[in-house]
């Protein structure tokens, strides 16, 4: 048996603020970050974030596999994915996305490319395959019914069946979705996206504890999009010490996407308040439009939206711009888990919170075999505003 070889790793995010040295197997350097066509730019930014840390610089060339894959299409629309160089024994972090993307690939083609890619990586005798899909486009298809398919189940089972051993994403639509995978076959990490959005609020709209105490806690409120979203909105309200507002919708289930009425539940008057509507995703924006018009009647100072996944399909951009033109919508904050450059031009009030730094931190934790518990803990606003350290 080969002798155990190890080298020191400096952990810059020790809880006590002191640099701590641990040792890991030198073979852990044998990992590659690559991507399907849908997320090449995102993966390249993750590589840049990782290799700017000294302990990863010696392995920069080995880590960067962004151009490793090639799609070879057939005339009839079929495809093959080819690996350009050897990956034998290397652990693979594969970034992918099936929603709107930089390659302008449709959802179905993007999924097929992903499945072919995993097959190619297995046939190339790669090591552990870790799929990192920041936004799972089929995550809303998670409810079982007698005569309908469950898209998320099909997607996750396909990945596990092809040989994926670890699946990472941000903010799945529901907690129950994590039970769709057998952890003895494929482990799933659903990283809470709210830590990214809270940091963005702190960095750009609060900045110090004086503003937190004198403005945010007195004049802000966080609003759920419906009763089901109360938990997420409450998490923001508790983190910033601001009131919670709950929107209770009455739907006409005989018609699709139809809302009969919205009741606003709040323990405090909303007049003069800065409201933040919190949701995990916005698709066509129809529900948000109805909610904003209902909130308008309470005469808030301004209304904003903060979301993890900006799907914005159909007429969503048109809806958002119309609300902004009427003075009803001030800001939208969304992460970059869904490709967004076109949206920045289409929606003038959109602010994008980049997620590559956190994705890089997740990979560093996995490679060094260190806990990711800080990403799952409650976000301490006061501590962050004082230290500006997301992982401290």
Listing DSSP states for 309-359 in one string gives: EE---TTHHHHHHHHHHTTS--EEEEESSS--HHHHHH-TTEEEE--HHHH
Pairing of strands 20-25, 6-11: antiparallel
- The structure's pTM equals 0.86
What does the pLDDT read at residue 11?
43
**Residue 71 in 3-state DSSP?**
strand
What parts of the chain have a pLDDT lower than 70?
1-29, 54-62, 250-260, 342-344, 388, 390-392
Write down the H helix ranges in the chain.
40-51, 60-63, 107-123, 151-162, 194-201, 209-211, 217-219, 230-240, 286-296, 316-325, 341-346, 356-368, 381-387
Confidence at residue 5, expressed as pLDDT on a 0 to 100 scale: 38
Among candidate residues 206, 204, 193, 120, the one with its CA nearest the CA of residue 163: 120
* The domains spanning 6-192+356-387 and 195-353 adopt the same CATH topology: yes
Asked if the 6-192+356-387 domain carries CATH number 3.40.50.11740, the reply is: no
Give the DSSP H or E segment for 92.
strand 91-95
Which of 44, 48, 335 lies closest to 197, judged by CA? 335
State the Cα angle at 114 between 67 and 165, rounded to 5°.
100
Quote the CA–CA distance of 21 and 235 in Å, as a whole number: 34
**So what's the pLDDT on residue 8?**
43
pLDDT of residue 368: 86
Please give the Cα distance from 387 to 385 (Å, whole number). Answer: 6
Residue 260: per-residue pLDDT: 60
Report the candidate in 191, 198, 194 with the shortest Cα–Cα distance to residue 170. 191
The alpha carbon of residue 139 and the mean position of all alpha carbons in its chain are separated, in whole angstroms, by 12
Contact yes or no for 143/66 (Cβ under 8 A): no
pLDDT of 342: 64
In the chain, how long is the greatest CA-to-CA distance?
73
Rounded-to-10 torsion of CA 256, 257, 261, 264: 150
Residue with tokens 């974030």: 49
Q: CATH fold of 195-353, please?
A: Rossmann fold (3.40.50)
| pLDDT tens per residue, range 14-31 | 444 444 444 434 344 589
- Long-range contacts, 67-73 (Cβ 8 Å, 24+): 67/40, 68/32, 68/34, 69/34, 69/35, 69/36, 69/117, 69/120, 71/37, 71/113, 71/116
**pLDDT score recorded for residue 51:** 86
Pairing state of beta strands 274-282 and 302-310? parallel
| Residue 249: per-residue pLDDT | 76
| pLDDT tens for each residue of 206-222 | 999 999 999 999 999 99
Domain segments of the chain as ranges: 6-192+356-387, 195-353
């Amino acid at each position: 048996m080969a002798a155990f070889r190890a080298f020191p790793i400096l952990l810059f995010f020790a809880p006590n603020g002191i640099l701590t040295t641990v040792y890991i197997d030198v073979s852990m350097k044998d990992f590659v970050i690559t991507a399907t066509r849908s997320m090449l730019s995102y993966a390249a930014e993750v590589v840049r974030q990782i290799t700017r840390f000294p302990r990863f610089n010696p392995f920069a060339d080995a880590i960067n596999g962004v151009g490793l894959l090639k799609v070879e299409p057939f005339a009839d629309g079929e495809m093959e994915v080819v690996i350009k160089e050897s990956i034998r024994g290397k652990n693979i972090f594969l970034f992918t996305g099936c929603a709107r993307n930089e390659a302008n690939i449709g959802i179905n083609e993007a999924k097929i490319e992903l499945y072919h890619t995993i097959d190619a990586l297995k046939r190339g005798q790669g090591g552990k395959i870790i799929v990192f899909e920041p936004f799972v486009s089929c995550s809303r298809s998670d409810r079982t019914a007698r005569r309908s398919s469950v898209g998320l189940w099909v997607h996750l089972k396909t990945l596990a069946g092809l040989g994926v051993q670890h699946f990472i994403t941000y903010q799945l639509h529901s907690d129950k979705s994590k039970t769709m995978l057998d952890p003895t076959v494929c482990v799933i990490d659903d990283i809470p996206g709210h830590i990214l959005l809270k940091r963005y609020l702190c960095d750009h709209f609060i900045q110090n504890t004086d503003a937190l105490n004198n403005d945010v806690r007195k004049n802000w409120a966080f609003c759920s999009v419906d009763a089901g979203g109360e938990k997420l909105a409450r998490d923001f309200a508790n983190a910033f010490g601001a009131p919670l507002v709950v929107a209770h919708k009455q739907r006409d289930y005989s018609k699709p996407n139809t809302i009969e009425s919205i009741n606003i539940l709040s323990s405090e008057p909303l007049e003069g308040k800065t409201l933040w509507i919190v949701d995990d995703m916005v698709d066509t924006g129809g529900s948000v439009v109805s909610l904003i018009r209902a909130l308008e009647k309470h005469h808030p100072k301004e209304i904003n939206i903060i979301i993890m996944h900006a799907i914005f399909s159909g007429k969503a951009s048109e809806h958002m711009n119309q609300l902004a033109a009427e003075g009803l919508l001030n800001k939208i904050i969304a992460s970059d888990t869904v490709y967004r450059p076109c949206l920045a031009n289409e929606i003038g009030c959109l602010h994008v919170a980049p997620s590559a730094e956190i994705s890089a931190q997740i990979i560093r934790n996995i490679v060094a075999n260190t806990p990711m518990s800080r990403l799952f803990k409650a976000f301490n606003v006061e501590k962050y505003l004082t230290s500006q350290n997301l992982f401290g």
